[in-house]
Amino acid sequence: MKLNTQKRLAASVLGVSSKRIKLDPERLSEIKEAITKSDIRSLMREGAITSINKRGVSRTRARNNILQKRKGRRYGKGSLKGTSRARLPRKTIWINKVRSQREFIKYLKQKGVLSVYNYRLLRNKIKGGFFRSRRHVKLFIGEYNLTKKDGK
């Protein structure tokens, strides 16, 4: 039984492809008699003609990849796009380094290890980019005896 016309009409009513039209196999004789769009609409209301849902892109693989990345996987050399500076800009590195160093000398000042004078000295050096890291600040303090107990 050819129902191409009915399928085409149903497709135009629903605004989908004729491939997505599903006909109820028990009501094929009724569907064959339907020759107008209004007939097709009434059959749709009754449930004799339906449309199959469109298949989307599956997110299964994407979800799996996200789980793997949470575990720290999939970040090897082959997966990297962009230079290290593109991935973590110079400015961000600078900000993190300076904040860490300032936090460290502030802590030392609050503990009473650094005098206000030495705190200022170190803060200005940090501002000028003199130190490479917190450890470098620590070494500098030890080398020049900037603690209150040892020095001034």
pLDDT band at 139; cut points 50, 70, 90: very high
Vertex 134 angle, CA 129 and 91, to 5° = 45
Model confidence pLDDT, tens digit, residues 22-40: 999 999 999 999 999 999 9
pLDDT number for residue 148: 86
The length of the chain is 152
**Does the pLDDT at position 127 exceed 80?**
yes
3-state secondary structure of 66: helix
Specify the pTM: 0.58
| Domains, the chain, ordered by start | 4-51 (1.10.1650.10), 86-143 (1.10.1200.60)
Angle between helices 134-143 and 90-111 (to 10 degrees): 40
**Does the pLDDT at position 150 exceed 90?**
no
Q: Token match 């449309």: residue?
A: 51
Mean pLDDT, range 49-78, rounded to an integer: 96
**Does the pLDDT at position 152 exceed 80?**
no
